[in-house]
Structure 1
């Protein structure tokens, strides 16, 4: 950041965690209503920071593996409390209006300032050494060739769209320490790849913030709530440290905008399908969203999901040299394999991988249960249910151990700040389509 601001001193992660926590309490804590859900939500969100700091220090090789394990366990424990909170939200009918302690003008200025600083962090950041391997894979993909990196991607990254996983993660953790010398591997190919990753990360973060604002303005009827959610999102230590992670930011942006277009089943289906193809795990959202549109708009939503997946599969056809390479990438995108039990990362690098099986079965049961419960779904159910399911992924995801907070954080913040949305049901807000009129006839 010192390249952009004269004599700017970087703030280390621990200091930023303290400062952001104090700002969060000052801006959003309701001191006149100590025992309210708003304050509980803020405490849970603040409690994510200690686990993130332990993991961040481990990634920088400044602490031992035992500290990293403590961080992962702490993060998953807080995530479990957040999961219970998101599931309980569906039963909350009374939602008193609890706005931020700062005026809309002040929140707007703070949001714009934080966004500018985070954008500068991405622009001045650099890729991790491990992420430079993506450049080799991107070069082979451009030449329609297979590589050893290509063959090992499913084991090292998990399922997802091949082209998305070619991008390195731009490490904004460099904002809290000296950048050091850039590796010799950072050559022309690497620079082009890093610039692409930087642009995608910035665009995705802008899309998340814009989506929060527009959802609050259009669907909540209160822009002040959107400013509060956007400000809290940008204040979170996670956002500062993992801003440049495209595989976190892109699904977050797609899910936020799927919520914004929820009155248009086809558009929401396109975005949900793109999220499923990009990172695989949003497939668990299909029972929830399909059940929401069951009374009206289901076939348009299903058609949007299918159309997007068909386009993504077609791109694999045109970027593969032979059938073997195509089917390998298809397996990569849809995760067609038995759950791996060895060679895992994140918290599962320390625990026996077989313990993932009961967690995965419980998660599948939770995902399927949303097809039936609650019987009448509204926009509030979509927000809290989507956040809950993406939270549930954290417990069995083999390659992050709870670090993919961006997949659920924007939706959880919308759930925290939402008003009463009981009347936002598909039958009331979705226009009848051709399939709906035919079914009614």
Structure 2
């Protein structure tokens, strides 16, 4: 940032206060203090101080984030019980939100292109370069927490040659990592706007979701971590294309290959498409999986190398409940055995949200998917609650969504609802309203 604005610096605490004031000014409903929108906004803003405390007081910060994450799980699990979703206008019109959205996005992208990228993003770019040159990556592969899947390196392959051509081979990996972060955030913002316009029938809601995504401090703190933003961006587009199971399956397959946590969403999405579109959804996701495995074969010289890149790249220690975890995070100071009841509750939550209700609509799919992703962070030992960007876009879609009772994938339900809305007799169909005449 010093290259553009000399002696200009915004600390994390300053960004928190600025985003706090702007978020309240634009989204807080002062005419209805006791509203669900205000409660969700306060929850979103109250979890951000935990990210600041993690750097100065790790124990307090991790406890803060763990409690806030648990509250979000409860909120998403009971979202479908809030049937009344009154339309709430923002305190800024669409043109003002669009201007503010473009301005903040530009500010964040200047940070991306002027600061050092995240090390895991640079590592993904190097793996993409190895994929293009078909080199074995097992000797140079660095274990990250969490490890990015093959989707990131596959989607980064078009970026690497472009970056190399732009800088003539000088520090091309850094430029490619910055372009990846830019594209990941852009796909999230555009996806949220399209989601509001197409499925919520309100472009203003799409702008509101995109603006709040850019305003929240967690986005600015981890703005260069493309590996964390990429799965969320793919899941947003899976929701955007949910009416087309083939496209939705492609995005879901890519999301599962980008990070491990979208795999837990597959039972829920399978139950959603069970009677209409399940075969197309499963087939397209399977094709994506085959393509991702093929990309790993290109960078494996033998069977041992391929096994190490697939099964060996997974950190199986997260599923071992033995001994203490000497790693940063909430569970770093506790025995792993304490995570057993949390993990059991997580499995039961997946089962309950998958089975109930039997006939699901888009509202159930969004809230239940978000609840499962957030619940993953409660038992994940490697700084789980810190990864807010994993679920933030989906959480915003649930917060701003209107009533979506008509968005079920079951055609029988749609026909039943349409028949129930028809008049019950010819007399009711022919009734007209006549204004009384004045004498």
1:368 maps to 2:359: no
Counterpart contact for 1:160–1:332, Cα < 8 Å: no
Whether the 8 Å CA contact 1:296–1:430 is kept in 2: the answer is: no
| Equivalent residues in 2 for 1:199-238, closer than 5 Å | 199-238=179-218
8 Å CA contact 1:118, 1:243 repeated in 2:
yes
What's 2:53 paired with?
54
- Alignment match of 1:339 (pick from 316, 319, 327): 319
Q: Which residue of 2 aligns with 1:35?
A: 34
Identify the residue that residue 320 of structure 1 maps to in structure 2: 300
Change (3 A) 1:404 1:430: farther
Indicate if the aligned counterparts of 2:256 and 2:263 stay in contact, CA closer than 8 A.
yes
Separation (CA, whole Å) in 2 of partners of 1:429 and 1:122: 49
Alignment of 1:424 onto 2:407: yes
1:200-279 matches, within 5 Å, as 200-279=180-259
- Residue aligning to 2:428: none
The answer to whether the aligner puts 1:83 opposite 2:73 as a matched pair is yes
Residue 145 of structure 2, aligned match among 137, 157, 176: 157
Over 3 Å counting, the alpha-carbon distance change for 1:146 and 1:202 in structure 2 is closer
Instruction: Give ranges in structure 2 of 5+ residues lacking alignment.
Output: 157-166, 415-439
Q: Is the 8 A contact 2:343 2:379 kept in 1?
A: yes
> What is the CA–CA distance in structure 1 between the aligned matches of 2:136 and 2:283, rounded to whole Å?
33
Alpha-carbon distance between aligned partners in 1 of 2:98 and 2:346, rounded to the nearest angstrom: 38
Instruction: Indicate the SS of the match to 1:100.
Output: coil
| Secondary structure of residue in 1 paired with 2:378 | coil
Displacement of 1:369: 2.2
Task: Determine the C-alpha separation between the residues in 1 that align with 2:385 and 2:168.
Answer: 34
Matches within 5 A, 1:1-400: 1-4=1-4, 6-7=5-6, 9-55=8-54, 58=55, 63=56, 67-127=57-117, 144-147=135-138, 150=141, 153=143, 156-162=144-150, 164=152, 191-332=171-312, 339-340=319-320, 341=322, 342-400=325-383
Match of 1:174 in 2: none
**Deviation (angstroms), 1:129:** 6.6
CA distance in 2, matches of 1:115, 1:429: 43
CA 1:110–1:295 in 2, change beyond 3 Å: closer, same or farther? same
Q: Aligned partners of 2:13 and 2:331: how far apart in 1?
A: 25
Aligned to 1:173: none
Taking the aligned partners of 1:96 and 1:195, their CA distance within structure 2 comes to 45
- Distance in 2 between the 1:130 and 1:207 partners? 20
Matched-pair contact (CA < 8 Å) for 2:151–2:254: no
Moved more, 188-197 or 222-231: 188-197
Q: Distance in 2 between matches of 1:159 and 1:300?
A: 29
Show CA shifts across 1:71-92 (max 9, x none): 1110111111111111111222
Q: Please list the CA deviations of residues 109-135 of structure 1 after superposition, one character each: whole Å capped at 9, or x if unmatched.
A: 000101111111100010357877778
Q: TM-score, normalised by structure 1?
A: 0.84
TM-score, scaled to structure 2: 0.84
Which whole-Å CA distance do the structure 1 matches of 2:256 and 2:357 have between them? 23
* SS of 1:220 mapped into structure 2: coil
Give 1 or 2 for the bigger CA radius of gyration. 2
CA separation of 1:36 and 1:267: change in aligned 2, threshold 3 A: same
Q: Give the C-alpha shift of residue 49 in structure 1.
A: 1.4
The answer on whether the counterparts of 2:276 and 2:411 sit within 8 Å (CA) in structure 1 is no
Q: 1:338 to 1:80 in 2, by over 3 A?
A: closer
Deviations 1:292-348 (CA, angstroms, capped at 9, x unpaired): 111211111111211111111111111101101101111156666772454544323
**Change over 3 Å in CA distance of 1:43–1:258 after alignment to 2:** same
Query: Do the aligned partners of 1:161 and 1:332 also contact (CA within 8 Å) in 2?
Result: no
Bigger drift between 21-30 and 8-17 goes to 8-17
Distance in 2 (CA, whole Å) between partners of 1:230 and 1:329 is 36
